[in-house]
Structure 1
Amino acid sequence: MDKIGPGLLTLALIVVLAGLMFAGWRSRLRRQQDVAVLPALPQELGQPLEAYEGQYVVTTTAGDWLDRIGVHGLGVRGKALLRIYPHGLLIDRTGAPDIYIPRRQLAGVRTESGMIGKFVEKDGLAVVSWQLGDRGVDTAFRTRNAADKGPLLARLTSLVPTASQDEE
């Protein structure tokens, strides 16, 4: 009988904590209702220049690696295939909506050792900065093979529009 009390107390604590986490996530989604919808996929994607297997990590507000964007499925981490096209990139996610980032919306590429919920070795994440409506966001991707990170970063960097391209 003396084991039932602590067991019930532990179970009640777990239920309360799960409820608080659920309420916090719902609150985040409500606060982020002003986030623009994801860009639509072009009618004709064409052949990708390159593709990389890995993990979609997260999308956060630009410059704030702790402010996860939860709407449109952007807060869901999972396996993904990142395809690079001349007109942009597509993150084809397993179990979540795909993310298409048009080339004209890219703002920069860098590496990080971590973002909310995922920390890896130094410079283990490829982070793409881009514009989602009027909000700057950062999207992190981790390649499955460490040897793919260098070529991925080089190809992504080549996609980022420069000032001279914007003037044309």
Structure 2
Amino acid sequence: MTPGATLLATLAAEDGERRSQPVTDWAERIGWVIGLLLLVALVYWLMRQGWKWRATLQSDLPEPEPLPGEPGAPRLSFTGRYHGSTVAGQWLERIVAHGLGVRSRADVALTERGVTVARPGAGDFLIPAEHVLGARLDKGIAGKVLTEGGLLVITWRLGERVLDSGFRSDLASEHAAWVEALGHHHPNPPADAARPSQTNEPEGAR
């Protein structure tokens, strides 16, 4: 084969390879991307609607008390995270009204006025001493699961409802002192749990 024929054969082979390469279907790819974005938007919209629906069902829940101007000297305190609130004993029945469903950092303190919860970027609130029913160590609340005993759950009364609020200190070893100070509480409170007894009141309330 002459050099000219060899060159022509090589060029023909390269041209065939280029023609055999798959052609990118940009229209199909763009369609898939748009479909995925629409699916994500739909899921987000459904989540927001569910949140609003739950807030509507909880519209009878009174707003938590704001932090007092002079809460008193803290007997216990920690910095950590607020993981949400639920109906007492029902860790998936999340409370979303009045910002109680917003997870956030929190500075928590026990004073003579009760439990103060200061949340940067979210609403602060007070759990009055006379409304505290007790505390326990747990591992999950509002769909958030931690290690066994890694969550401090404070049970308290807000209006006619009994709630569980979950906290986690940056130093989990601090939780035990809170349970001791606030009193142990069973995860399924009896019907009359809305009436706090003296044994369940925090030390600062006595």
TM-score by length of 2: 0.74
Partner of 1:115: 141
Confirm whether residue 162 of structure 1 aligns to residue 202 of structure 2.
Answer: no
Q: Which has the higher strand share?
A: 1
Distance 1:75 1:62, change over 3 A: same
Distance 1:102 1:116 in 2: 22
Distance 1:129 1:29 in 2: 20
Runs of 4+ with deviation above 4 angstroms: none
Partner of 2:32: 6
Confirm whether residue 57 of structure 1 aligns to residue 83 of structure 2.
Answer: yes
Distance 1:27 1:129, change over 3 A: same
State whether residues 66 and 124 of structure 2, in contact with CA within 8 Å, keep that contact through their aligned partners in structure 1: no
CA drift of 1:151 comes to 2.1
Partner of 1:136: 162
Work out the percentage of aligned pairs sharing the same amino acid. 34
State whether residues 87 and 93 of structure 2, in contact with CA within 8 Å, keep that contact through their aligned partners in structure 1: yes
Letter aligned with residue 142 of structure 1: R
Select 1:83's aligned residue among 109, 123, 137: 109
Structure scoring higher RCO (CA < 8 A, sep ≥ 6) equals 1
Distance 1:102 1:93, change over 3 A: same
Following superposition of structure 1 onto structure 2, how do residues 101-112 of structure 1 map, counting pairs within 5 Å?
Answer: 101-112=127-138
Partner of 2:60: 34
Greater gyration radius = 2
Letter aligned with residue 87 of structure 1: R
CA drift of 1:164 comes to 9.9
Instruction: Write the deviation string for residues 72-103 of structure 1: whole angstroms up to 9, x where unpaired.
Output: 11000011011110231101111111120111
Letter aligned with residue 50 of structure 2: G
Q: Which has the higher helix share?
A: 2
Secondary structure in structure 2 of the residue aligned to 1:3: helix
Gaps of 5+ in 2: 1-25, 185-195
Letter aligned with residue 26 of structure 1: K
RMSD: 2.1
Distance 1:156 1:164, change over 3 A: closer
Distance 2:57 2:153 in 1: 24
TM-score by length of 1: 0.89
Distance 1:89 1:105 in 2: 10
Confirm whether residue 73 of structure 1 aligns to residue 99 of structure 2.
Answer: yes
Select 2:125's aligned residue among 99, 119, 135: 99
CA drift of 1:65 comes to 0.8
Distance 1:92 1:156 in 2: 19
Gaps of 5+ in 1: none
